[in-house]
Amino acid sequence: MSLIFSYKLWPSPRPVTPLRGRWVRPRPVVSVTLVGPKASRVQPALLDTGADDCVFPESVAAQIGIDLTSAPVGNATGVGAGPIAVRYAQVALRLTDGREFREWQGWAGFTAARLTVSLLGFAGCLQFFGAFFHGDREEVELTVNSLYPGT
C-alpha cells in the first residue's frame, strides 16, 4: 500500500502564467513528524527529488532533544543560496496520509539557516521509497522499497 499525498494548493493573487492562468500554485508539501528522545514535532516539508538530504531547522533538534554538539557536519547549497552548514543526526521520521502509516529511522541534517519549510530529500527519506509525482492528479505517491528500514 502506498502513501498518497495531495499537493497543497496555495492561492495566487494573479493568474499563474506557466500554469495556463490558474489562480493557485500546487506544491508537494507534506507534514512529517520527527520523534526525538524528549519530544516530537510535526513539520511542513517539501518532497524534493533534487535535494540530497533531509534538512530541518536546528531549533527543532533542540526541541525534540537531539544533541548536535558532536554531530557530523556538512555543507549544503541550494538554488540561489550560498553554502549553509548542516549538522547530521539520526532521527525517527513518520509520514501518514491518514490511511497508511510509515515510521523509520533516518539521517537528517539540521541547519541554523532560516527555512520556510523543511526538505525531504534523498538521504534519510526518498532513498527508501519509490516516488511518483502524478502531475495530472496533483498527487505524490510513495511506496516503500527494499531499502526501507522501518515499519
Partner 1 sequence: MKSSDTRFPQIPWLDAQHFENRRNFPSEELSKYEGRHIAWSWDGAQILASGKSQEAVEEELKALGVDPSRVVFDYVFPGDASVIGPLEES
Positions in the binding site for partner 1 (CB under 8 A): 6, 9-14, 16, 25, 27, 31, 33, 35, 39-44, 46, 55, 57, 59-60, 63, 78-81, 84, 92, 94, 96-103, 113-119, 151
Shortest distance, CB of residue 55 to partner 1, whole angstroms?
8
The long-range contacts involving 69-78, CB below 8 angstroms and separated by at least 24 positions, are 71/110, 74/109, 76/52, 76/109, 76/111
Shortest distance, CB of residue 21 to partner 1, whole angstroms?
15
Residue (70 or 113) nearer to partner 1, CB: 113
Residue (70 or 80) nearer to partner 1, CB: 80
Residue (25 or 134) nearer to partner 1, CB: 25
Residue (69 or 79) nearer to partner 1, CB: 79
Shortest distance, CB of residue 20 to partner 1, whole angstroms?
15
Return the residue matching grid coordinates 526501507: 148
Run of H or E residues at 60: helix 58-64
Q: How far apart are the first and last CA of the chain?
A: 13
**Chain CA centroid to CA 79, Å:** 17
Shortest distance, CB of residue 140 to partner 1, whole angstroms?
14
Shortest distance, CB of residue 3 to partner 1, whole angstroms?
11
Three-state SS at 97: coil
Strands (E), 17-100: 22-27, 29-35, 40-47, 55-57, 73-78, 81-96
Residue (20 or 114) nearer to partner 1, CB: 114
